[in-house]
Amino acid sequence: MPQYLNEAVEKICESIRFDSSPTERTAQMPFGKGAYDCLSHYLSLAEELGFETHNYDGYIGEVVFGKGEPFAILCHLDVVPAGDGWSKPPFGGIVEDGKIYGRGAMDDKGPAICVLYAMKALKERGFVPSKKIKLIVGCNEESGWACIEHYKKFSDLPETGFSPDADFPVIYAEKGILHVRLHYPLGASPLFFLEGGTSANMVCDFCEATPRSIGSKRVQACGLELKGKKISYHGKSAHASTPEAGVNAIRPVLEYFAVRNEPIRKIISDLFDDRLHFRDIKDETGRLTLSPNLIKYRKGEIQIVCDIRYPATVPVEKVHEKLSKLGVKYETLSHQPPLYHDKDSELIRTLLSVYRDCTGDENVKPIAIGGGTYARALKNGVGFGPEMKGDEPVIHQPNEYITIERVGLLLDLYENAIEKLTK
């Protein structure tokens, strides 16, 4: 059993109990009280373990170990909103049946704690890194990366490192991420109110609307709930990079109105039936995914925010060309260019070797993902864990968890990885 397994489990539970999803900001708490308190908790723990720490105005924190050329390990403590459908308290940090439940258990509080204790284990056995390890923990990874931009104002971001916020065995490519807001004018509107979704990077799990007229048979045919004058649908959230793992609640609500409304039929055709074949855009890193995750009705139009993950070798201009053919106004809300590295680079070969040694799986190869991590903030950065092939998808979903067995494996993997990369 890894030396610090029990302590790591306890501290992961404590970290989960902070609701660090974005809330009202203040000058002292730029992403809300929950994120600020979670960062303070993490840095206090690092100090107790004997490390130098820095808190950059509540935006982002840093734990330092060693001297020399800087090496980054990038984690985040913010989480997406809990959403609906939980059978466990989303911020309870409870342990049941060998699992730690709560929002952030896998993404990314669990791995962040594991990296910290891996560094502690190295320190305790007298390891002296030849590099200056900068364990950087942000509070805005899920919704904008303002934390990284703030860090760059006060400290130098290393060129090389890894982020324990993706998949094993090691990530050589991440798709580009484009968030756009589309504006569909309705003309004669069949509804008074329409709203759904909690975050651009989560599959919409709840959508509701107030029709101008209600047909009970139509409500039933679309599988909707009717309460008073509102219709609604409960779907299933999932990470926007894998929309097929969720059930989008927007479509059933739109289908209620689509029978007699051409503009709404166009929305369904464009964004759900893929009229323009966005999903045909592909390369070795996978197909483009498009997930309509936020919707609202305002001033005679339906506004929809879509999360688009496009293949790593495809220029973003090709995606914009497709979007322009939809024939509606759209605006870019955010864009993160893709990450792409040589699979035979020293960083990837080292991490792949660590994974093979710790798991005994000699057949694994570097992979590409649709998710986006802090690794792309680095000139030479890659994703390394915590998810493994065959895992139940839990990130951005109800009842997110990490197994205690996985915590133990992460402690071993990250201790070995840090040692090999900084000796």
In terms of C-beta distances under 8 Å and separation of at least 24 residues, what long-range contacts does 8-12 make, across chains too?
8/113, 8/114, 8/117, 8/407, 8/411, 9/95, 9/100, 9/404, 9/407, 11/45, 11/113, 11/117, 12/93, 12/100, 12/105, 12/109, 12/110, 12/113, 12/114, 12/402, 12/407
Amino acid at 152: K
| Catalytic (active site) residue 141 | yes
Q: Which of 107, 141, 400, 412 is catalytic?
A: 141
Position 235, amino acid:
G
CA–CA–CA angle 404, 21, 369 (5° rounding): 65
Q: Nearest 5°: CA angle at 392, between 358 and 304?
A: 125
In Å, what is the CA distance from 39 to each residue of 29, 57, 103, 111, 162? 10, 11, 15, 14, 20
CA 304/CA 202 separation, integer angstroms: 13
Distance CA 373, CA 80 (A): 14
Q: How far apart are CA 162 and CA 173, in angstroms?
A: 13
Let me know if 78 is a catalytic residue. Answer: yes
The letter for the amino acid at 149 is E
Counting beta carbons within 10 angstroms of the beta carbon of residue 223, is it exposed (0 to 12), middle (13 to 18) or buried (19 or more)?
exposed
Candidate list 19, 62, 78, 167, residue with the active-site label: 78
E runs forming strands in 229-327: 230-234, 282-283, 286-287, 289-298, 301-310
Strands 160-163 and 69-76, how do they pair?
A: parallel
User: Is the separation of the CB atoms in 4 and 10 below 8 Å?
Assistant: no
Catalytic residues: 78, 141
